[in-house]
Amino acid sequence: MQEPVTAVNLSDIGPVTVKVVIPRPDGKRVTVELKALSEQDIWDIRQSVKWPEPPMDLQKIDGRVQKVYDYASKSYQEALSAANRELSARALLACLKLAVPGETIQDRMAALQRGIGQYAYSLLLRASDKLNIVTDAEVSEMLRSFRANGQVSAPGDAAFPPDAARVAETIAPGTDGDAGDPT
């Protein structure tokens, strides 16, 4: 990994273009250029997806009528999966620097999904995600810069998270989170 440079303007940390090499089953290797999307691009794509709403029921709880959502509903989970698939396809389409035929976004997404093999589509999706989605490992690496010499030494720094059940055992009920009486 290269030594970090100090950013002095937005272009130092702006979107980049990468080349993804796709090894085809017939032995050819094809290079495809992808560009990283800006935060605004991602926001616009997210807003363009119709996100499903879970089924809702009104129930009387403690004498009051309340909305109860069924997030485990099979139809809701299927619709959520379809919306996430559409989000991924739209993001990949926006990342591609090659021409994809079609008059509308829907036409272009269909052409992309039907026009290339699943192996290539999967590789391109993974590359698009890597360009545009920050992973836990990348966040951990960035957080190391807050430590002297990048060393992790304090409890909780890149270590296992605290056991919620054990923490709850040490907090006395009704004390607003203060530890129980030490005496």
With respect to residue 139, please indicate whether it lies within any of the assigned structural domains.
Answer: no
Please report whether residue 183 resides in a domain.
no
Confirm whether 102 is domain-assigned.
Answer: yes
Give the residue with greater pLDDT, 66 vs 179: 66
End-to-end CA distance of the chain: 53
Task: Give the pLDDT score at 162.
Answer: 57
Contact 90/45 with Cβ under 8 angstroms?
A: yes
For residue 116, give the CATH number of its domain. 3.30.2220
For residue 167, being part of any structural domain is answered with no
Tell how strand 29-35 and strand 17-23 pair up.
antiparallel
Domain count, the chain: 1
- Report the pLDDT averaged over residues 161-176: 55
Residue range of the domain that includes 128 = 15-133
pLDDT digits (tens, 9 = 90+) for 52-103: 999 999 888 888 999 999 999 999 999 999 999 999 999 999 999 999 999 9
The answer to whether residue 81 is domain-embedded is yes
Coil, strand or helix at 172: coil
Is residue 10 in some structural domain? no
